[in-house]
Amino acid sequence: MRTKIFLFILLSTVFATYAQQDAQFTQYMYNTININPAYAGSRGALSIFALHRTQWVGLDGAPVTNTASINTPLNDSNLGLGVTFINDKIGPTNENTVSADLSYSIQTSPNYKLSVGVKGTLNIFNLDITKLNPEVSFPLDPSMQNINNVVTPNIGSGIYLHSDKAYFGLSVPNFIESTRYDDNEVKISKEKINYYFIAGYVFDLNTEIKFKPALLSKLIIGTPLQVDVSGNFMFSEKLTVGLAYRWSAALSAMIGFQVSDGMYIGYGYDRETTKLRNYNSGSHEIFLRYEIFKNNDKIITPRFF
């Protein structure tokens, strides 16, 4: 029983600290399909994306996240399709998530399209208790076992209003609240419903410089509202630099480069603004996006989002 109490305290601390529930990304504006299935196919290209994030470097058991996705419009229809894989490691836990997204778009005005999407997800959860190293040793409770490949399904949906200059989105990636660990005495890591709102607009400051402010807000019932605000400048359709602020959490710097018409690379660095900054050297995020444009005449310049 004492071992269970210790495990509860340790993992509760880990997951309370990592209270965002869903994997967190600083450069979410390039990775929108993770949180909103209506984004699938909206770029008008076969879009391949890969990202690696190392959070709170120097802190034992800190989150490490890898994600890869592909999404595309389906021929000349109004449909879009996407597939996403996420691996999220936090302390003794390891989660793999596979999602499939389907969207449908309609032209609401000469400049705007409205897309609606649905998401189906499988989460595979693992807990390795051998990775727990308490400073005070307790005899191992015989009933305490590793958790291997616990699969939980989920569904989500979203809407996405977008043009070449602006976007607005509302989404709930997971409607089902599922408990990752439950032995009738202790419950840990309950996946709560995450509500997202995103928005962004591109201003042409002159022929060479664009500025895009963006917003992401996330609501989880029972936790404070999370708000991310960012501003990015794009120079000559090639170089992008910007700053972001996660309210009462972190300050971030971002840089990206359009290597070719199809390839874009980006890097982000977070520095905590809470007391947690005393125990880590920050968070690093790097991504690569590669796109194949099927209708080159429709893609005149690289999209800013």
For the segment 181-202, the average pLDDT, to the nearest whole number, is 75
Q: Is 195:220 a contact under the CB 8 Å cutoff?
A: yes
Listed residue (101, 105, 104) closest to 118, CA to CA: 101
Q: What is the pLDDT of residue 300?
A: 43
Q: What is the pLDDT of residue 184?
A: 52
Contacts of 148 (CB under 8 A, 6+ apart): 126
Contacts of 84 (CB under 8 A, 6+ apart): 33, 34, 67, 68, 69, 97, 98, 99, 101
What is the C-alpha to C-alpha distance for residues 229 and 35, in angstroms, rounded to an integer?
A: 16
Where does the pLDDT of residue 107 fall: very low under 50, low under 70, confident under 90, or very high at 90 and above? very high
Q: What is the pLDDT of residue 138?
A: 54
How long a stretch of residues is the chain? 305
Which token pair is 240?
Answer: 């992008």
Q: Is 122:153 a contact under the CB 8 Å cutoff?
A: yes
- Residues 224-282 have pLDDT tens digits of 899 999 999 999 999 999 999 999 899 999 999 999 989 999 999 999 999 988 999 99
What is the C-alpha to C-alpha distance for residues 231 and 202, in angstroms, rounded to an integer?
A: 10
More confident residue, 254 or 222: 254
CATH 2.40.50.140 fits 26-294, yes or no: no
Angle at 184 between CA 180 and CA 190, to 5 degrees: 25
Spell out the domain ranges in the chain: 26-294
- Residues 111-145 have pLDDT tens digits of 999 999 999 999 999 988 777 665 555 555 555 67
Mean of per-residue pLDDT scores for the chain: 85
Which token pair is 223?
Answer: 């936790």
pTM given for the model: 0.85
Where does the pLDDT of residue 67 fall: very low under 50, low under 70, confident under 90, or very high at 90 and above? very high
Q: Is 268:284 a contact under the CB 8 Å cutoff?
A: yes
Q: Position 224: which residue type?
A: P
Q: In this structure, what DSSP letter does residue 26 have?
A: T
What is the C-alpha to C-alpha distance for residues 69 and 79, in angstroms, rounded to an integer?
A: 17
Q: What is the pLDDT of residue 42?
A: 92
Q: E strand or H helix at 244, and its extent?
A: strand 239-246
**φ, ψ of residue 206 in degrees (nearest 5):** -160, -165
What is the C-alpha to C-alpha distance for residues 228 and 182, in angstroms, rounded to an integer?
A: 33
Q: E strand or H helix at 4, and its extent?
A: helix 2-17
- Residues 42-66 have pLDDT tens digits of 998 999 999 999 999 998 889 999 9
